[in-house]
Amino acid sequence: MSGAAIVLVHGAWGGAWVWQRVLGPLRAAGHRVFTVSLSGTGERAHQPHAPITLQTHIEDVKAVIECEELTQVLLVGHSYSGMVITGVADQMRDRIAQLVYVDAVVPLPGESWSSRHSEDTQAQRRAVIQAHGHLPPSPPQGMGLNAEDFAWVERRQRPHPGGVYDSPLQFDAQAWAALPRTFIDCDRPALLTIAEARKRVRQQPGWTVHEIPTGHNVMISAAPALLDLLLAMAGAQPSPLPTPANS
């Protein structure tokens, strides 16, 4: 079987639907591509939010990799899911070939999604979570979307489970740093909550950084540019092992 194994993980308030514009072309290029809707999000928004933590979302992605028997995975995470793919890589590092952070959180060991948000943002989000148990979606303003795409995103967004916000992530930073890591910086306009990640990837060794002059939801606002980068990275991956005939 030719092509790379690619797993795409959406950010907060999203779902597998966010990848629609790159999914078909990646598969048409011969790659095995899987999109994950994390527990309590997207078409799984009906699930009870109370028990969902960051580890739940990590397990969601691990389950896809395990059930599809994927190896040499190009693991792609958008926004909040920088936390998720970091945890997945730590817990099944022998399956991961490369990590791609699409305008995503880049954590240090012990940090949570909330750690690098401003005090005002933390207080506001914690108050909402305490009141509702989740983070309701807000209109996707300041993300560089045209009117049609803005409406497309707004009507698909769903509340994000509140239990993930302060879930800390412990991981082996040295083993993680040994993996090839790419950061795709989308800073026109720049999303404030990703500001710390932009600094880190330019300070930590081992990063490849690409810039796409668009807003945070690059897979929607500049899908062809993102597709070109993913195809280039997938082309550099070894082919995954064939699926056993009796599976």
Domains and their CATH numbers in the chain: 5-235 (3.40.50.1820)
pLDDT 10s digit of each residue in the chain, 247 long?
A: 469 999 999 999 999 999 999 999 999 999 999 999 999 999 999 999 999 999 999 999 999 999 999 999 999 999 999 999 999 999 999 999 999 999 999 999 999 999 999 999 999 999 999 999 999 998 999 899 999 999 999 999 999 999 999 999 999 999 999 999 999 999 999 999 999 999 999 999 999 999 999 999 999 999 999 999 999 999 854 333 333 333 3
Strand pairing category for 160-161 and 134-135: antiparallel
15 in Cβ contact with 78 (< 8 Å): no
Main-chain dihedrals φ then ψ at residue 76, nearest 5 degrees = -115, 125
Give the model's pLDDT for residue 184: 98
233 in Cβ contact with 100 (< 8 Å): yes
Give the model's pLDDT for residue 138: 87
Q: How far is Cα of residue 68 from the mean position of the Cα atoms in its chain?
A: 19
Look-up of token digits 């060794």: 205
Give the model's pLDDT for residue 210: 98
Alpha-helical runs (H) found in the chain: 20-28, 54-67, 81-91, 119-132, 147-154, 173-177, 195-203, 218-221, 223-235
Q: Known catalytic residue: 79?
A: yes
List the catalytic residue out of 79, 81, 167, 221: 79
183 in Cβ contact with 209 (< 8 Å): yes
